[in-house]
Amino acid sequence: MKKALKIEIEGCDGSGKTTALKYLIEKLQSKDKVILETREVGSPLIPINIKLRETVLDPKSNLSGEAMELIFAAMRFENDKHYSSMANFYDFIVSDRGWLSHLAYTDHNVSERFTEDLYLKFMESKTEMPHIVVYFDVNTDTALKRRVSRGGGMDVIEMKGVDFQEKVRASFQKYMGHKSLNDTNIFIVDANESIEGVRIQLDVIINEILEGVNNG
């Protein structure tokens, strides 16, 4: 009986990961793969997580960083339980954000010590790590232009500004080498390139993923 491989799509706000996620899913489906599409924070498949996401990211909630991260961790628990119940029905579970986002954002939403205590000492042993991470690396200026161009309001994290995003980017790079991901295949996409350039990189990554599945 098959068990779905979990792919987490990572990157700072404005890296283009959400658009690329759709492309990756379409390409995998074209290879007759069955995909469960989800989101780490506020999974549309889990009603309570939708409500929690709306609450925690609403600036009017005025939550402390510690309270926010505890709620994000609770959502990860619910995600993990749901994935375990569905894993035998899919080839891949593809998630917009995942483990790396928890680590990178908590460093600066609260502190590195809080990241260590909550995620690396507790959550790491309680939830399943991704099999594959595709990280979209983008410079701060490009990411900012993309966030501005898409318009709309900003959530409480996006309101923290450019300096915060740059710090988060550094933490992403730091944690990609963490031992919790020793068994995870990590791919890095240069997200500063054009849409076509990103798709070319994704095509190579998708072929490597499928080759790994066929050889595994």
Q: Which of 190, 148, 191, 203 is nearest to 24 (CA)?
A: 203
Number of neighbouring beta carbons within 10 Å of residue 167? 16
Per the prediction, the chain carries an average pLDDT of 92
**Which stretches in the chain have pLDDT values below 50?**
1
Could you give the strand order of the β-sheet that contains 132-137, starting from the edge strand earlier in sequence? 35-39, 92-96, 5-11, 132-137, 185-190
**Tell me, what's the pLDDT at 152?**
62
Q: What is the pTM of this model?
A: 0.92
Q: Which of 129, 89, 94, 87 is nearest to 23 (CA)?
A: 94
**Tell me, what's the pLDDT at 144?**
76
**Tell me, what's the pLDDT at 216?**
65
**Tell me, what's the pLDDT at 162?**
80
Q: What angle do CA 94, 132, 102 make, to 5 degrees?
A: 75
**Tell me, what's the pLDDT at 157?**
79
Cβ pair 82, 6 in contact under 8 A: no
Secondary-structure class of domain 5-215 per CATH: alpha beta
